Structure 1
Amino acid sequence: MNTLIVERQAGPGVALVTLNRPAVLNAFNTEMWQELWALFRELAYDSALRCVVIQGAGERAFSAGGDLKERNGMTDAQWSAQHQLIEDVLLAIRDFPRPVIASLHGIAHGGGLELALMCDFIIADATADLALPESRRGFLPGGGGMQNLVRAIGVRKTKQMLYAGMRIDARTAFDWGIFNELVAAGGHLARSLELAGEIARAAPQAVRSAKLTLQHGADTDFRAGYALDLAHHNMLVRGPDRLEGIRAFNEKREPQWTQQ
């Protein structure tokens, strides 16, 4: 791959994906979106995979968003074709069957922030610098950023960020609820991999079911969401991993999961 670095065994069952265009602050060009699309389709069928971590290469950025030099002069048809690919990739990350962690440092603007918001968690360091600046370029975010932000921080703060393309620092983003955790500068990847390792030790089918019920339950009313919870609960308690988990606890050992 030309725009990504993929480490399949960053930890047991953990894949580390690095956005690798540091000279342009890891801005997304069409090739990077194509490689992300192919990669996440491939990873979805990796039965040994438990968690994916995404980071940006270099010291300055997670990703500055879309490559505006590539986009300069694009026809409407070219823009639409690229954007369909972007939508496919971002939804593939949101709906990926295993947890995805954004390990964020430095600049995360536009599509960079939108990609991070599609992940299950964001672990950020103190250098993080966030913005959705599209209103300053004559359009609006098109990668789910508005919907993900309003669900994370509410309507008023989202308006504050969107209307003027406002930049916010790491502490503000954490206080508002955009990040799960805020760590010291340079500590984002170590903490992300530590968290990924913790996820990898849990029962794979239970984690996958939790992601499904939380993703879909959050978009519906309480009773419909609770029905999803119970459907997956009842499925899992009748499986072998529930017996193994309880047995391992009582025998003071790590469980050996059988359901993928």
Structure 2
Amino acid sequence: MSDPVLMESGGGIARITLNRPEARNALNAAMRDALARAIRAAEADGAVRVLVLRGAGPHGFCAGADIKEFTEVPSPTEFRQSRVHDSWIRPFDEARKPIIASIHGHCLGGGVEIALACDIRIASEDAVFALPETGLGVITGVGGSQRLPRVVGLGHALDMILTGERVPAARAQAMGLVSRLVAPDALAGATEELAARIAARPPMAVAFAKEAVRAAQDLPLREGMKLEVDLSTLLLNTEDRLEAARAFREKRPSRFTGR
């Protein structure tokens, strides 16, 4: 049996692959646990500056939860306890390094929720998104109802969640669900280019910028502005900030070390 999640690193990029192509990368317990471990491992690796998450096989990024796991219905108490203590999605929220979702084909249910937990979403023109849970008598379970309105706005979020309608890539980009859209055969290269561009920047500045932007979703403006000033101040005397200034004066490429 192959590993449900693969990871390989190089050039400052950790490439994490959902690896159940025979099941359209549907999420089962083994994949959820392996995905959490992979995110944590990449976050702890000092050589990694950017994470890329993608799906194996031609059919899609992730088709959502594996329905084979839902043969027995737990009691409401057991279900709630399992969700309260289910930490597999938490590493996405805890990661200081940027996470890019590279999406092709089907991105459904839990696949959308994983993509929403990433920082940037780039998709191929054949991608299709949907949150079908209400049609199955349930609702999203790992942040879909909370993250989607923050990304696309209340109206688009309710439209997707209440209808379960499949959203083609062009519409997903128009509503802000994905920020970049490319031809299917260009997705891998465009993702690598995007990741490499971010990886080449000073990692502390990238991490602080991500922290400030993420905080803007929850903080009042005045508190967010204070956080931005505090983080900017912390960067003033970093070696990378000083190196960027020297490189600009000397008209040469910067050599960032992460310090």
Question: TM > 0.5 between the two?
Answer: yes
Letter matched to residue 93 of structure 1: F
* Number of residue equivalences: 257
What TM-score do the two structures reach when normalised by structure 1? 0.93
Are 1:236 and 2:235 matched, yes or no? Answer: yes
Are 1:255 and 2:254 matched, yes or no? Answer: yes
* Structure 1 segments (4+ residues) deviating >6 Å: none
CA distance in 2, matches of 1:6, 1:148: 26
**The 10-residue stretch of structure 1 (74-83 or 118-127) with the greater mean CA deviation from structure 2:** 74-83
2:97 alignment partner in structure 1: 98
The answer on whether the counterparts of 2:131 and 2:161 sit within 8 Å (CA) in structure 1 is yes
The answer on whether the counterparts of 2:150 and 2:217 sit within 8 Å (CA) in structure 1 is no
For residues 132-143 of structure 1, the aligned pairs below 5 Å read 132-143=131-142
Structure 2 vs 1, CA of residues 230 and 117 (structure 1 numbering), >3 Å: closer, same or farther?
same
Are 1:73 and 2:72 matched, yes or no? Answer: yes
What TM-score do the two structures reach when normalised by structure 2? 0.94
1:4 alignment partner in structure 2: 5
Partner SS for 1:123: strand
CA distance in 1, matches of 2:79, 2:32: 13
Partner SS for 1:34: helix
1:186 alignment partner in structure 2: 185
Letter matched to residue 19 of structure 2: N
In the TM superposition, what whole-angstrom CA distance separates every residue of 1:69-122 from its partner, at most 9, and x where no partner exists? 11221534775565456x522231133110000000000000001000110100
In the TM superposition, what whole-angstrom CA distance separates every residue of 1:156-200 from its partner, at most 9, and x where no partner exists? 111111112111101110111100101112322211111110011
Letter matched to residue 194 of structure 2: L
1:37: Cα distance to partner?
1.7
CA distance in 1, matches of 2:213, 2:58: 34
Letter matched to residue 8 of structure 2: E
The answer on whether the counterparts of 2:243 and 2:254 sit within 8 Å (CA) in structure 1 is yes
The answer on whether the counterparts of 2:124 and 2:181 sit within 8 Å (CA) in structure 1 is yes
**The 10-residue stretch of structure 1 (234-243 or 220-229) with the greater mean CA deviation from structure 2:** 234-243
CA distance in 2, matches of 1:36, 1:53: 12
The answer on whether the counterparts of 1:28 and 1:65 sit within 8 Å (CA) in structure 2 is yes
1:41 alignment partner in structure 2: 40
1:26 alignment partner in structure 2: 25
CA distance in 1, matches of 2:164, 2:18: 24
Letter matched to residue 4 of structure 1: V
The answer on whether the counterparts of 1:218 and 1:225 sit within 8 Å (CA) in structure 2 is no
**The 10-residue stretch of structure 1 (168-177 or 67-76) with the greater mean CA deviation from structure 2:** 67-76
Structure 2 vs 1, CA of residues 222 and 53 (structure 1 numbering), >3 Å: closer, same or farther?
same
Structure 2 vs 1, CA of residues 84 and 30 (structure 1 numbering), >3 Å: closer, same or farther?
farther
1:252: Cα distance to partner?
2.5
Are 1:15 and 2:27 matched, yes or no? Answer: no
Structure 2 vs 1, CA of residues 148 and 231 (structure 1 numbering), >3 Å: closer, same or farther?
same
Partner SS for 1:93: helix
For residues 85-164 of structure 1, the aligned pairs below 5 Å read 87-164=86-163
2:216 alignment partner in structure 1: 217
CA distance in 1, matches of 2:181, 2:16: 20
Q: Unmatched 5+ residue regions in structure 1?
A: none
Structure 2 vs 1, CA of residues 184 and 175 (structure 1 numbering), >3 Å: closer, same or farther?
same
Structure 2 vs 1, CA of residues 14 and 81 (structure 1 numbering), >3 Å: closer, same or farther?
farther
RMSD over aligned Cα atoms: 1.7
Partner SS for 1:257: coil
Structure 2 vs 1, CA of residues 209 and 133 (structure 1 numbering), >3 Å: closer, same or farther?
same
The answer on whether the counterparts of 1:54 and 1:103 sit within 8 Å (CA) in structure 2 is yes
Partner SS for 2:185: coil
1:61 alignment partner in structure 2: 60
Identical residues among aligned pairs (%): 35
**The 10-residue stretch of structure 1 (38-47 or 13-22) with the greater mean CA deviation from structure 2:** 38-47
